[in-house]
Structure 1
Amino acid sequence: MTVLAIGVTTAISLTGCGSSSNEAGGDSATPSASPTPKGVVDETTAASVVDDYQKANNKANATRNAKLLGTVEAGQVHEQSKADYKLWPTWTKKRQKTYASPFYYRDRQYYIPTKDSGATWFAVKARSVKDPKDPGGLLIFDKVDGRYKMTAALGLESAPTIALDKNGFATPADPSKKVGTLAPNELGKRYEDFFATGGKQAKRHFASTADTRESTKVYTDRNAGEEGRWSTTTYRETAPAHPKVYALNLTNGGVLAVFPTAHTETSVLKPAYLYNSKITPGEEAAVFNPTPRIAITNSYEGQGLAELQPQKKAKVTELEYRITGSK
């Protein structure tokens, strides 16, 4: 997200009003009536999952207890949270205080697919700030190791209208089905071209947004400044630690997709300096490996939120990365 670490890392904002529970519809006394569909969870259970996550996350953040956090969190968001805990010493006192402060999810709206949809997850739109004008964020809870855990958390640019069926259940979209220029499961791989080439191919598939422009700037400036005199930096797309994509249909015919993404950043000394110089890792990279060396490769794990519309380019509205390793 525009460097808004949501969910497990800081307070976030999410808006809405509760969707219908799985008790809606149907006349059980009529033999010919179709049985009312059941959700992957009911709304009461979903609320309890969010409450448990909130409680454990606040406790874990206070002491950077990764083991405790792992009982309620998984996926890309957990990779980023573990990195946050490691990077804690590099942060300002103000940031540390904000991160460790308790947060509470307000104005929750639950988006629960039916059991027969094939989904194992549900989504929540909520806020952790009191401003009702704040669009909040989208949280995904999936079944991992027999328990529902948060697997993604991203801020919302606006409040998209997620489609509900006649019983109030959310309708998952097929991640492999193309909507406009891309399918949801193509987003991460295609997006990384902004870092690798400045978007030579990606610009054909993605609309220009603040995130695409910032990613392009990373490529453009990769060898600028003093460091560019001594070394050459390149970016390469890599497989995310957790590849699962989540997609929900919107009322306007589009799809809201939560996607994982990842890349490496490699800096290598230029030939003229290979035998008498070393690259000193930056402050964050040094947390993972402080040794000066002739080449440094940093790994980044990311998650993004995009809106896909028929006959339009994909629009990435939130994107965030964390450095998760250095060698």
Structure 2
Amino acid sequence: MITKQAAKAVVDAYEQANNRANRLRDEKLLATVEAGQVNEQSRADYKQWSTWSATRQKEYGGAFFYQDRTYYIPRAGSADWFAVRATSSYGERQESLLIFDKAAGTYKLTMAFYTPRGEPFPKIAVDRDGFVQVAQPSQKVGSLAPSELGSVYEDFFESGGTKKAAKAFAATDASKDSTKVYRERNEGKLSTYLTKKFFSQEPAHPTVYALKLAGGGVVAGFPTAHTQERMLKPQYMSSFQIGPNDEEAVYNRSKRTVITDEFQGQGLAQMSQKAKPKVLTIEYRMVDSR
């Protein structure tokens, strides 16, 4: 499908263009090397740049590189995408899994995951010729298929996991953090006046990527999305309005009785026939507020 040398050139070109685009906040340049859910999040970063601290702006605009790379390339005919495992020079030098897929006829980064520090990365299965095996997103691995991960995961936000997510997923730091968002949704000084709810929605880019693991199982990169709604309680609607925070004001500065924020995310899960899926990492960006 692609040689390691050509895959290396794709990643090198991504680094160069991404570093320049981040420094200039150039969406058009970034779109030449990036697509999918990761691009949704990057464009949101550019949009909200003015709300960041000077320290964060400096870090984000600085150059970074992917080092110690391992290329996971499927056999020709089995997939049109490939993955790269690497260590990022950015921040805490976390281990990363990058997905490059064809978009508009060229390979672009479509998903990127930073695995938790100290968490052993699942071992990808490689055949005797060095090729990886792609898993079908629609095929169940235990109780869920990779293509079902996103919609089921969103139940952590909608109900705290009580309807289906807590039973479907193994408890991880990622799932605990998501449950905490639900549990604390109506805390704070404004809780007297408004309520906060979450609603699952279709991700902007629905493609799921899955690779088979050594010893069985699958590692899957999945898209996910939800909206967050803050609404004044009925008794206050005629007298008050909600002021948007700095990030929300980038999209809509007006005060209103309901503020709806859209979040686009991407997650990485380890799946097994004999155990619940384990979400290793998940990350969201607010991409709109209305």
TM > 0.5: yes
**Shift in Å, 1:254:** 1.2
Aligned to 2:211: 248
Aligned counterpart for 1:304 among listed residues 267, 271, 277: 267
Percent of counterpart pairs with the same letter? 50
Deviation per residue, 1:104-162 (Å, 9 max, x gap): 11111000011121x1100000112399x966100000000001000000012332210
- Following the alignment from structure 1 to structure 2, what is the Cα–Cα distance between the partners of residues 120 and 304? 20
Supply the distance in 2 between the matched residues of 1:67 and 1:237 (Cα, whole angstroms): 29
Amino acid at match of 1:167: D
* Mapped partners of 2:93, 2:228: distance in 1: 34
Q: 2 CA distance for matches of 1:195 and 1:282?
A: 21
Partners of 2:256 and 2:273 in 1: CA distance: 48
| Deviations 1:277-299, CA, capped at 9 Å, x for gaps | 00001111111111100001000
The answer on 1:126 being equivalent to 2:86 is yes
Aligned to 1:320, the other structure's residue is in SS state strand
Which residue pairs with 2:197 in the alignment?
Answer: 234
Aligned to 2:276: 313
Cα distance in 1, alignment partners of residues 76 and 115 from structure 2: 27
Q: What is the number of residues matched between the two proteins?
A: 286
> Is the CA contact (8 Å cut-off) linking 1:199 and 1:216 kept in structure 2?
yes
**Alignment equivalent of 2:104, drawn from 135, 145, 160:** 145
Following superposition, the deviation at residue 314 of structure 1 comes to 0.6
Counterpart of 1:263? 226
SS in 2 for 1:56: helix
CA distance in 2, matches of 1:176, 1:128: 31
Larger radius of gyration: 1
Q: Pairwise mapping of residues 29-48 of structure 1 onto structure 2 (< 5 A)?
A: 40-48=1-9
Q: 2:60 aligns with which of 88, 92, 99?
A: 99
Q: Secondary structure at the match of 1:143?
A: strand
User: Residues 79-118 of structure 1: matches in 2 within 5 Å?
Assistant: 79-117=40-78
Question: Which residue identity lines up with residue 288 of structure 2 in the other structure?
Answer: G
Structure 2 letter corresponding to 1:283: D
CA–CA separation in structure 2 for the residues paired with 1:204 and 1:179: 15
In 2, are the aligned partners of 1:76 and 1:303 still within 8 Å (CA)?
yes
The aligned residue for residue 13 of structure 1 is: none
SS at match of 1:127: strand
Report deviation, 1:190. 0.2
Cα distance in 2 for residues equivalent to 1:87 and 1:293: 20
**Partner of residue 192, structure 1:** 154
Structure 1 outlier segments of 4+, above 3 Å: none
Tell me the equivalent position of 2:10. 49
What corresponds to 1:159 in structure 2?
121
**Conserved 8 A contact 1:135-1:159:** no
Aligned equivalent of 2:21: 60
Tell me, in whole angstroms, the C-alpha distance in 2 between the residues paired with 1:101 and 1:279: 36
Task: Give CA-to-partner distance per residue, 1:291-314, whole Å, 9 cap, x none.
Answer: 100001000000000000112111
Letter matched to residue 138 of structure 1: L
What CA distance in whole angstroms lies between the structure 2 residues aligned with 1:169 and 1:199? Answer: 37
CA contact (8 A) 2:65 2:90 kept: no
* Matched-pair contact (CA < 8 Å) for 1:177–1:184: yes
Q: What is the TM-score with the length of structure 1 in the denominator?
A: 0.85
Structure 1 counterpart SS, 2:230? strand
Instruction: Give yes or no for contact 2:211–2:219 (8 Å, CA) kept in 1.
Output: yes
Q: Which amino acid aligns with 2:105?
A: G
Aligned Cα root-mean-square deviation (Å): 1.4
TM alignment of 1:8-47, pairs within 5 A: 40-47=1-8
Structure with more relative contact order (C-alpha pairs < 8 Å, separation 6 or more): 1
